[in-house]
Structure 1
Amino acid sequence: MTSAWDADDSPLGFDLGAAIDPAVLDRQIIDAVARRIHQKMDDYEAYNFTAKQSIALNIFFDLAQEFPQLEHLYAVCLLIPKLFFDIECNLYVLDSKSGAIRRCAYRCMDADAGEIGDLPFPQRTVVRDDRLFIPIKGNHELISQLPFTPREDVFGMLEIYPADQLSEHDRLFFERYANRFGFQLHNRILTNKNKEHLLFIRSLVKDIGHNVIVPNIYFKLYYKRLRSKIDLLKFFEWKLKQFFENESQPVEDLPAAKDKLLRDLGYVHEGLMDQYRQILTHYEQTSLFLETLLRRSHFEEGRYVLEKRACNFKKQVIDLQMERYRPRFEERGIEVDTSLGGVPDQEIEVVVDIGLISQVYANLFSNAVKYTREVVDAASGQRRRFISFGWERKENFFGPGRDGIKLNVFTSGPAIPPETAAHLFEEGVRGENASGEYGTGHGLYFIREVVRLHGGVEGYEATDLGNNFFFVLPMDPIV
């Protein structure tokens, strides 16, 4: 007699993927389920559980459905043996995110015992030092969907003590109890994983919209400008034709007319090259962002998976984004002044995901285009609209021997009120100066998520002349 399906058997005993007539399939499903019901009836008759044991199982099933969090399920698992049978127990499971072994605490005043050292899970029930160790297994058919890979389907252990107070019948009950908990835990982990996947995909859609689709409206502007330069070239082609066909033009006027045509053609050529560079830069960054956001690993894990490598931060991240946004700063009359940013003489090298961090700077510079305002420079008395950017090393920022690099993007204008500033990096929050500017309130939230993935911190500082947005990254060793 068994209480669960054999590891290598399909739950219904046949291949659902085979081509079967629907009526026959329905009959087979009904017959297979009926067989399992009869097997379970035989199993439970053989178990001969006491009334208290049966009630304990029923309450476990009820509460396992009622409480939504994993921690609740752990507490239910541990408290039922204690409250029903005055039995002490410990629960060890593989953490659903890291795969490390975790001891679960249930007393309200106790903190989670956290991750522990290497603790082998038994493959079958054993007794050691007057303690009963019962392996916790999941559904073999769904093991591959777990975010970690357990050994022989075992991803936990229930420890019950003292073992000498347990009869063989008691041990059978707790084995079945651990089996029910294992299936509930497995389903809960998969449910949480699926929820996280859905949340990530929703966030990813926003990231793509904010960092790729919205900026892509500038392609239309660049192509419109390119078309105007091409039309101008066509005009000069006509003028050149007229010049050579005009036999009445005085010979003495030819050098001046020739020089003017050459200057005009040079101007058109320079304009075409400028449009080409802008389109190429925009294309390269759009491609980088799409390749970064649509990595296969993101969808498999249900979260952003960093591909970190050493890079020259100034050349490979900041300069490229500044080149992309400089024309937009110029259009709005915004100066680029690096005198306030703390830029050191030497360049910096850090270990980051270049694609994601580049999008952090793209968001910061995009906000700078929209929200930089005019201020009076106390030093010169002049009215100015400007941004500044740079970086500074922060010794021991992340603990002894772990330096950080603080990266700043400053914009002139009125300071953001403290009550708003405290929530700037939350989803959907926009500053009071956002009126009249298009935005979703997603950019700073994206920055926060990417920076924290890198183990860094994000922040905002008000100054006399405006607002400084910054983030600090660990200076990980370059290997």
Structure 2
Amino acid sequence: MNDPNNHDPNDNLLDLTDDERLALVVERIEAKFLDYNGYDFSRRQNIALNIFFELSQEMRGREMFYAVCMAIPHALFDLESTMYILEDEETFALAACSSGKCDKESVQPWSDVMNHRLTIKGEDMYIPIRGNPEYNDMLTFEPPHNVLGCFVMRPSSGLPGHIRLFLEKYVNRVGYQLHHRIIRARNREHIAFIKSMVQDIGHNVIVPNMYFKLYFNRLKRKIEELHLTTTTILAEMNKAADPEQIREGNRLAQIVGGIEAQYQEIYSHYESTSMFLETLLRRQHFEEGRYVLDKRDVNLRTTVVDPMVERFRHRFDEQDIRFSLARECAEDQVIRLTLDRGLIAQVLDNLLSNALKYTEDTSVDGGRKERHVSYGWKVVDDFFGPDKPGIRLWIASTGNPLDLKEPLEVFKPGFRAKNVASRPGTGHGLYFVRQVVELHGGKVSYTHTDQRNVFSFVLPFERS
């Protein structure tokens, strides 16, 4: 999770009201009116900027875009152009020339002319092509001084200052358009890679994982045979009435029982891990660019809660954390919901993982210190409106309250409270919880009460 005191200044824009956002944009428009009045561009120059914008949207392909970029200076001022694009932090690569014969170097280094300042050398005017700093993190490298390339125009002698200003502003627009095109190209490559990766996942991960079930079934049959053989051996040993043999037979029975218990634990983890793999790597997620629900009618307790509880029970025991079902919950209660079992199971897994990491000691009766985690569920009448109940699931763990400005802050991507920032974590788990719950039409919440941090979520619930 990120330090909450180290936000991008633009993050504050997310917290504005609609009225404040509108007022800010109006203020920027008025400032731009003043700027353009100060530029004193001719009508032809202003029209040229609009034409560039329209043609850059209309023309497809990088080469056609470069042609549009170089056509405006040629049409207005009869200038020839050469465009260089920064291919790494130190190297400019030749991208295009306006003339049929291009005698420029194909590669040029960062230099006294190819840099972040408008520079004139002889008849050549070098104008840096600047990108949009808001999207630099989407490039393959951090562009020095926000420079994406260099626009070289000639002849520059005799160009008045106001024309140089126009060309500089024009190249700024070229830079923003170029930046968006680079990002779009990268996104297309990214999507193509994801589509290919999805096929690889199906072939190299999901299908091979299915064979493990076959291996587990074979192992289970072997354990059952071992049980039968052990029972036969014990019967023979009891007939012999040799105390030493009986002791050894009982030890053999204990070993077999231990093997079976280990098998059950490993198989339980395999089932959970397989479900998580198949759910998270579901092909539809990648094809649609979002989580796609596979909702089915399930018994929430037996198919989601109980398996996750058993998965974590021994881990809480190992850390000396008391783990229990809330008193008001009935262990045999049947709660049928329509949901994506795999995703909701991972929601519960995330909440239990956090409880395992962040539970702290608290004083109980007699001044004794204890760490305690409890879980439970409750039907909440009219939660989503009249006659629209919800089912609330919660995980409560002892500890100090989180340092938050508002409760839902903890569910933001990358967020970590300052008082737990030293503990391992990425800040993504609770954001994932919120995404999945809201996809189901539910709501998440956090509160601190009775020396406990309580994370909960409510899902729509229809009584049968």
The normalised TM-score by structure 1 is: 0.47
The normalised TM-score by structure 2 is: 0.49
**Higher RCO (CA 8 Å, separation ≥ 6 residues):** 2
